């Protein structure tokens, strides 16, 4: 089930990013120390009182143009209205209620979305009296915060959780493969959906998904049931959402969360840009099975080396997703389209695969025998036991004498050996270490 979304909105320099970091903690600051993963987070996850939620930091969005502060905060507010289930309206106790605050308040009020006003920079008791004027915004009790000191974060989260809507996700049977199509605008996601459905001609129905304006389309092929989750319809009318590619990341998040397999659609005519790495990185971090789909391959000038060059480019740009297969096709002409569903089936199977413990331990023991762990200050890592503890993604727990001795390079070595033995094509593989005494 997709998490509800909280958007943090406000004019510049009120502390949105500081509060965002306080809410999500350090878990997403650097998810994996692997080359190629983008680090500038504008979307994270948090939890409070047993409720898990996603958080958008609109302060991390870069807006082109010089149309002034009011245009900037208006765009942020409109983004929040479109994407969020609840809005945290950030203001500054030192500045008081400004014209920009009042304009955003009017936009949010008309939206009908629940809004919590958070007044930042209440760094001492003397500033507490400054929050009362924020009642004039019309959203009830303002929450006093100090982002720099971490004061009031619990009160803010309590107010948010109390007002979050209950989850209403469409549920599907476990044997249904949920496939999300993600990518920046104009890569051909809608055309690809239409091509898949048009070729198979076995549409069951169309169901409005919980992701705003997205469509869940169930269909079947050779006794396998699927649901296509198309994010292309989430693009807002008008130019507001055309000013920055970063919006496409936000519109993909709920779809990624709900999916088993993520199709990262790339425009073969334009090639790879940085934004493709942003979007694919989130699918990787969420542990989803992934397939790179290079669309519009029919309009690419090709020779006998073009496909290999493009493959090499993807591998160079997406070092952290070397496990993901690549499919070249044209949604327009349906060239090579028949290759896609078998790949989706394969990676979904690998994503849910469970390896017997005795076989896993045989592979790990052989790997250790071939290349023993290096010593660290005279101490050597001892690998005692390995077991798979979950699937989607496959997650393996390795019991050792001291987890501190597990260097990331040796962990990667073990992962590569496990992949060589069991494949795990298309899916991330999570390895965790624990002290052997903790097994008891």
Dump pLDDT digits (tens) for 8-55. 888 777 888 888 888 887 544 333 334 443 344 567 778 898 888 888
- The predicted pLDDT at position 136 comes to 93
- The predicted pLDDT at position 429 comes to 96
Rounded CA separation 95/92 (Å): 5
Residue located via tokens 């049931």: 225
- The predicted pLDDT at position 288 comes to 96
Q: How do beta strands 379-380 and 375-376 pair? A: antiparallel
Q: How does pLDDT run across 251-270, given as a tens digit for each residue? A: 677 788 889 999 999 999 88
Output the CA–CA distances (angstroms, integers) from residue 277 to 9, 36, 285, 357, in the order listed.
25, 8, 12, 35
- The predicted pLDDT at position 234 comes to 37
Rounded CA separation 295/119 (Å): 46
Low-confidence ranges of the chain (pLDDT < 50): 27-40, 60, 62-66, 200-213, 233-246, 438-440
Would you list which residues are annotated within the binding site for GTP? 10-17, 57-61, 120-123, 183-190, 230-234, 295-298
Would you list which residues are annotated within the binding site? 10-17, 57-61, 120-123, 183-190, 230-234, 295-298
Rounded CA separation 304/18 (Å): 51
Phi, psi of 201 (to 5 degrees): 50, 40
Contact assessment for residue 171 and residue 216, using Cβ atoms and an 8 Å cutoff: no
Domains and CATH numbers, the chain: 5-163 (3.40.50.300), 177-351 (3.40.50.300), 357-439 (3.30.300.20)
- The predicted pLDDT at position 32 comes to 39
Instruction: Give SS3 for 182.
Output: strand
Residue located via tokens 């996603």: 54
């Amino acid at each position: 089930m997709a998490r509800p979304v909280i958007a943090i909105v406000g004019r510049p320099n009120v502390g949105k990013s500081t509060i965002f970091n306080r809410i999500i903690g350090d878990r997403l600051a650097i998810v994996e120390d692997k080359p190629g993963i983008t680090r500038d987070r504008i979307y994270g996850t948090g939890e409070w009182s047993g409720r898990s939620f996603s958080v958008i930091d609109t302060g991390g969005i870069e807006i082109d143009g010089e149309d002034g502060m009011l245009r900037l905060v208006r765009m942020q507010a409109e983004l929040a209205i479109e994407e969020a289930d609840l809005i945290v309206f950030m203001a500054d106790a030192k500045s008081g209620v400004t014209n920009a605050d009042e304009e955003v308040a009017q936009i949010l009020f008309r939206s009908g979305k629940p809004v919590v006003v958070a007044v930042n920079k209440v760094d001492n008791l003397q500033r507490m009296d400054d929050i009362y004027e924020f009642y004039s915004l019309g959203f009830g009790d303002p929450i006093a915060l100090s982002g720099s000191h971490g004061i009031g974060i619990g009160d803010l989260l309590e107010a948010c959780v109390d007002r979050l809507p209950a989850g209403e996700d469409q549920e599907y049977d476990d044997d249904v493969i949920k496939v999300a199509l993600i990518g920046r605008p104009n890569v051909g996601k809608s055309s690809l959906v239409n091509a898949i459905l048009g070729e198979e001609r076995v549409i069951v129905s169309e169901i409005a998904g919980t992701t705003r304006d997205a469509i869940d389309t169930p269909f079947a092929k050779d006794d396998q049931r699927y649901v296509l989750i198309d994010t292309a319809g989430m693009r807002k009318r008008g130019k507001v959402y055309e000013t920055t590619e970063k919006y496409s990341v936000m519109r993909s998040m709920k779809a990624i969360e709900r999916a088993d397999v993520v199709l990262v659609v790339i425009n073969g005519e334009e090639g790879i840009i940085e934004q493709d790495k942003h979007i694919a990185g989130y699918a990787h971090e969420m542990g989803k099975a992934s397939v790179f789909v290079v669309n519009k391959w029919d309009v690419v000038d090709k020779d006998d080396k073009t496909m290999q060059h493009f493959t090499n480019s993807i591998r160079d740009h997406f070092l952290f997703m070397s496990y993901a297969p690549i499919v070249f096709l044209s949604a327009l002409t349906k060239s090579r389209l028949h290759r896609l569903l078998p790949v989706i089936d394969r990676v979904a199977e690998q994503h849910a695969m469970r390896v017997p413990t005795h076989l896993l331990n045989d592979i790990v023991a052989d790997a250790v025998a071939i290349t023993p762990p290096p010593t660290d200050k005279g101490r050597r890592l001892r690998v005692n036991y390995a077991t798979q503890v979950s699937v989607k993604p496959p997650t393996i727990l390795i019991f050792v004498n001291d987890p501190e001795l597990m260097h990331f390079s040796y962990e990667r070595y073990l992962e590569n050996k496990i992949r060589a033995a069991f494949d795990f094509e298309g899916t991330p593989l999570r390895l965790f270490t624990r002290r052997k005494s903790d097994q008891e």
